[in-house]
Structure 1
Amino acid sequence: MSFNFSFATASQILFGNHSLEKVPGIVAKMGKNILLVTGRNTEKAQQLSARFPSETKVSLFQIESEPTLQVIKAGTKMAQSNNCDVVIGLGGGSVIDGAKAIAALATNKGDLMDYLEVIGKGEALTEAPLPSIAIPTTAGTGAEVTKNSVIKSLEHNVKVSLRSDLMYPNVAVIDPVLTYSMSPELTASTGVDALTHLLETFVSNQANPFVDMICREGLYCISRSLLRAYKNGSEKKAREDMAMASMLGGMALANVKLGAIHGFAGPMGGMFPIPHGAICAGLMAAVIQINIEVLTEQGKDIEKFKELAKILTGSDLAKAEDAIVWADNLIEALQIPGLSKCGLLEDDFPELIKKAKVASSMKGNPVELNDEQLRWMLEKSF
């Protein structure tokens, strides 16, 4: 664990039930020409638009699925053509990621590929993005407090990041009430994503005491509330816990690299139409298990995994391996379909392993895993 670290997040965080009502006042200090990025369902966006004064111009841009290169370019063109001076992302992680990317590309010259990791040139942004506000309507990605946008390349069949310290939203507005309308299935999928962010950053080889503190609180929130939110979507405390956990997970992953679960998630999500949360769910137990086994074989410390198990199970007597059982039981209770039911075949394993090994997230895994160990993970998850 490093005692030398830095930490960054959104410039301002506004958390609380009905905090959406404060957005018009925040926007008034930022600009009067808004690009409002939203998802397939525009109901919440229309309600927010109605709150703005008549002199405020609102241009609506929809991201109906995952943001692709083509979608980001179209949104950027709209922002520039309409001379927008503020970008608001109101929706799930894909919407907020799209809004952050559009805000960045609107002020920076060149093509999106110039700035993308892995498949692009990976150049640094030189200009500050348009002022942005991130308002999540799900509890999972934590995108409202991160500095990257996950973008899908249809040409390369992979998801990659546009990443910059300049891309943190100016304001993150987290209103748990907005998550009440999530279905049980979406609650489960996004909740597991938040859990994975917290879990992987907690055991990351880049872990530090400050992020550990954040992860512990987030893991406690999820361990007591994810199943409750899944079973009763209107339970106030459970929804608040999950919104908090999602935000804390975003803070953690913005400052510490993740691990093998997300190392596979980018390539797998690019190659197959599998929900991100389902990928995380499918891989979670196997990744915990292989990391514990390899660390033990190498005579390295597994205290973080012991602490993880104690937090998740609520038992001070828990052993590291109990985290594996807990994860398996959770995924079963949430009824998230396995990877074998999502179109993934064993013939795809070599390509997945090849792509995962060069993924940015894989660099944070607590121990380096070889091809054989990575394949075992896939087989175990399959």
Structure 2
Amino acid sequence: MKPFSLQAPRIVFGRGAAASLPKEVARHGSRVLLVRGRSVAFVDTTVTQLQALGCTVTTLFGAGEPDIPQLETALTTARAVQPNCVLAMGGGAVIDLGKALAALIPAPRDPMAYLEIVGQGLPLDAPPLPFIACPTTAGTGSEATKNAVIGVPSHQRKVSLRDDRMLASLALVDPALTDHCPRGVTLASGLDAITQVIEPYLSARATQFTDTLCRDAIPRGLNALAHLMQGEDANARDDLAYTSLTGGIALANAGLGAVHGFAGVIGGRYGTAHGAICGRLLAPVLRMNERVLPDQGLKIARYQEVRRWLADALGGAPDSAFRRFEDWVDAQGLPPLSDLLPPDADLTDIATEARASSSMKANPVTLETHQLVQILWETLHR
């Protein structure tokens, strides 16, 4: 057995778990910075309960995926109130914003100093504030990761603020908070969750521990998403929330791959929904990886497993599973890649930037720029 290490926050998972959230947050002090989405009534209830416990709550609303201008504005507000902790309640974008604020409120430098690729990539100068994450969608697994994805408009990129100390003090995942999430959001976020257990399973950095998590989560997540596209199902919500959490742990410890290498570039340039990019590029990337992969029994066997799990969840034969997945996302109404990219998009430029991304480093095979261009071209013209 190969040696491995594990990084994960303290985790509380289960229906009804959110009832303990106010007391958990109040343990960290009386000045709470709340970063939230707008649509979940339970967030309002949590604020009331925190105030009843003697906490002062300063609220910031997340507006789309966080970028440098939004982060800088939020930092000005947050530093003025000197919070003891940061609580983020919302989707992955809200949690990333909250995580970044918890990291940067004590930091003396400009945010760009700490960003990878387009910034200086410096380690944080001071420990982050305690951070509590409570997701209300099932997709990114951001509650379990040590990075926050931030858009940098001046570079047309999405990159990470990353530090081992950015892991949440508590990741509280209550699947009930995702009940009746809109169908389109469920689809896009669910496709992200599935991608984030498939890529770590096939990753060059996979470990025995992440393998164990992903082997359970991949079929569980595929079946859950298929059920939710047919109608509301509490058990499927539970399974998809678990898959999302598992994906966060897996990617933090085993990395991702070419799908996310593309997603950071395309999302940063064109503001395209992350989950939609993952859903459109997952099968084409798997197909190319399998085509290029050396004839190594263990690696080939993993692709055969993924094909079988796809076939079991969506129907059809394993040999045609990647095509079946593409047809299935068509049928669910996911926009085609031609709607996610402008007509004049430079595929070579996108591929070149994607190849240099941090996510690409864990892809199971090295893909050359022309092969990445071929993935995009074949997806556009399928």
Q: What is the DSSP-based 3-state SS (H/G/I as helix, E as strand, rest coil) of the residue aligned with 1:314?
A: helix
Deviation (angstroms), 1:310: 2.4
1:125-182 superposed Cα distances (whole Å, 9 cap, x missing partner): 1322111110000000000000000000111111000011000000011111111131
Tell me: CA distance 1:122–1:28, structure 2 relative to 1, closer, same or farther (3 Å): same
Match of residue 276, structure 2, among 258, 275, 278? 278
223-232 vs 191-200, which moves further: 223-232
Match of 2:290 in 1: 292
Deviation (angstroms), 1:77: 2.0
Alignment of 1:101 with 2:100, yes or no, is yes
Alignment of 1:140 with 2:139, yes or no, is yes
Deviation (angstroms), 1:227: 1.5
For 1:146-295, list aligned pairs within 5 A: 146-233=145-232, 235-295=233-293
Match of 2:120 in 1: 121
Deviation (angstroms), 1:193: 0.1
Give distance in 1, aligned partners of 2:342 and 2:213. 34
Deviation (angstroms), 1:47: 2.1
Give distance in 2, aligned partners of 1:109 and 1:9. 26
Q: What is the DSSP-based 3-state SS (H/G/I as helix, E as strand, rest coil) of the residue aligned with 1:302?
A: helix
Give distance in 1, aligned partners of 2:6 and 2:281. 28
Deviation (angstroms), 1:88: 0.4
Match of 2:90 in 1: 91
Contact 2:150-2:161 at 8 Å conserved across structures: yes
Q: What is the DSSP-based 3-state SS (H/G/I as helix, E as strand, rest coil) of the residue aligned with 2:239?
A: helix
Match of 1:376 in 2: 374
Contact 2:137-2:189 at 8 Å conserved across structures: yes
Give distance in 1, aligned partners of 2:104 and 2:186. 31
Tell me: CA distance 1:27–1:311, structure 2 relative to 1, closer, same or farther (3 Å): same
Number of equivalenced pairs: 377
Match of 1:34 in 2: 32
138-147 vs 223-232, which moves further: 223-232
332-341 vs 261-270, which moves further: 332-341
Deviation (angstroms), 1:305: 0.5
Give distance in 2, aligned partners of 1:241 and 1:167. 26
Deviation (angstroms), 1:345: 3.0
Q: What is the DSSP-based 3-state SS (H/G/I as helix, E as strand, rest coil) of the residue aligned with 1:79?
A: helix
Length-normalised TM-score, structure 1:
0.94
Deviation (angstroms), 1:309: 1.8
Deviation (angstroms), 1:304: 1.2
Q: What is the DSSP-based 3-state SS (H/G/I as helix, E as strand, rest coil) of the residue aligned with 2:155?
A: coil
Alignment of 1:357 with 2:355, yes or no, is yes
Contact 2:330-2:336 at 8 Å conserved across structures: no
Give distance in 1, aligned partners of 2:120 and 2:260. 22
Contact 2:140-2:193 at 8 Å conserved across structures: yes
Q: What is the DSSP-based 3-state SS (H/G/I as helix, E as strand, rest coil) of the residue aligned with 2:82?
A: coil
Give distance in 2, aligned partners of 1:221 and 1:228. 11
Deviation (angstroms), 1:321: 4.2
1:277-317 superposed Cα distances (whole Å, 9 cap, x missing partner): 110111111101101111157999411111222233239xx
Q: What is the DSSP-based 3-state SS (H/G/I as helix, E as strand, rest coil) of the residue aligned with 2:253?
A: coil
Deviation (angstroms), 1:346: 5.5
Q: What is the DSSP-based 3-state SS (H/G/I as helix, E as strand, rest coil) of the residue aligned with 1:88?
A: strand
RMSD: 1.9
Match of 1:314 in 2: 312
Match of 1:348 in 2: 346
Give distance in 1, aligned partners of 2:292 and 2:74. 45
Amino acid at match of 1:238: A
Q: What is the DSSP-based 3-state SS (H/G/I as helix, E as strand, rest coil) of the residue aligned with 1:90?
A: strand
41-50 vs 172-181, which moves further: 41-50
103-112 vs 68-77, which moves further: 68-77
Contact 2:114-2:121 at 8 Å conserved across structures: yes
Deviation (angstroms), 1:329: 3.5
335-344 vs 169-178, which moves further: 335-344
Give distance in 2, aligned partners of 1:180 and 1:172. 18
1:175-215 superposed Cα distances (whole Å, 9 cap, x missing partner): 11111131110000000000111111100111111101111
Contact 2:102-2:130 at 8 Å conserved across structures: yes
Match of residue 328, structure 2, among 327, 330, 339? 330
Give distance in 2, aligned partners of 1:309 and 1:353. 26
1:76-106 superposed Cα distances (whole Å, 9 cap, x missing partner): 2222110110100000000000000000001
Unaligned residue ranges in structure 1 (runs of 5+)? none
Length-normalised TM-score, structure 2:
0.94
Give distance in 2, aligned partners of 1:242 and 1:192. 10
